A and B are shown apart, each in its own frame.
Chain A
Amino acid sequence: QSALTQPRSVSGSPGQSVTISCTGTSSDVGGYNHVSWYQQHPGKAPKLMIFDVSKRPSGVPDRFSGSKSANTASLTISGLQAEDEADYYCFSYASSHTYVFGTGTKVTVL
């Protein structure tokens, strides 16, 4: 159950786009469409932003989008806003009835 690999940090200016990658294996990200993304502000609980690779829950701005290619999933934030500054984690079903999170990425709005 090794954690999925994410970049430690990404940054962008307001209005720009940033993309966070989440790399796993064929036993997790590449093998299933159960990939989700969570936003976490300091001291707060995580919030679901994307599920089933690319679906947005009600209330999540359409600036957030998800995709997947082979063993790598991605979260893109378009039109970056100050309130998007947070930690982001990917999450995937893995084989043997387990789940695994990514290592986490800090998004900084310059």
Chain B
Amino acid sequence: EVQLVESGGGLVQPGGSLRLSCAASGFTFSSYEMNWVRQAPGKGLEWVSYIDIGGNTRYYADSVKGRFTISRDNAKNSLYLQMDSLRAEDTAVYYCARDGPIPAAGYCDYWGQGTLVTVSS
């Protein structure tokens, strides 16, 4: 069974940093591209970032470019999101989502349950 479990969320002050993790199991993690998606309280979904299977190609939404860094450790079956220079508008539930089973599938077929990040003083 495919499982994605996010961790690392919490309360952080504006300008601070946080590192999210996503532990993957039930599939060959190293064969799948991955994404982070977020959802602000009471708002819609927003795509945040993408990483290819080797970690060499990474894409970001304009809203986080230069502040967030996506990475992965295939030996540990883990996906990460390093978030720096956090702002109040980054407050959201952050989801880890697996890309489809073919290269550049362009959709997310499995999702974690999310971890809440709150940016507030």
Contacts and interface: CB of A to CB of B under 8 A. Distances in A.
Nearest to A93: B106
Contact of B107 (A34, A45, A97, A104): A34
Interface in B39-73: 44-47, 50, 59-63
Contact of A103 (B44, B60, B109): B44
Contacts of A40: 45
Interface residues of B, number: 25
A51 B62 contact: no
A48 B60 CA distance: 22
Contacts of A98: 47, 59-62
Interface of B: 35, 37, 44-47, 50, 59-63, 95, 97, 100, 105-114
B47 A100 contact: yes
A103 to B, nearest CB: 6
B80 to A, nearest CB: 19
A1 B44 contact: no
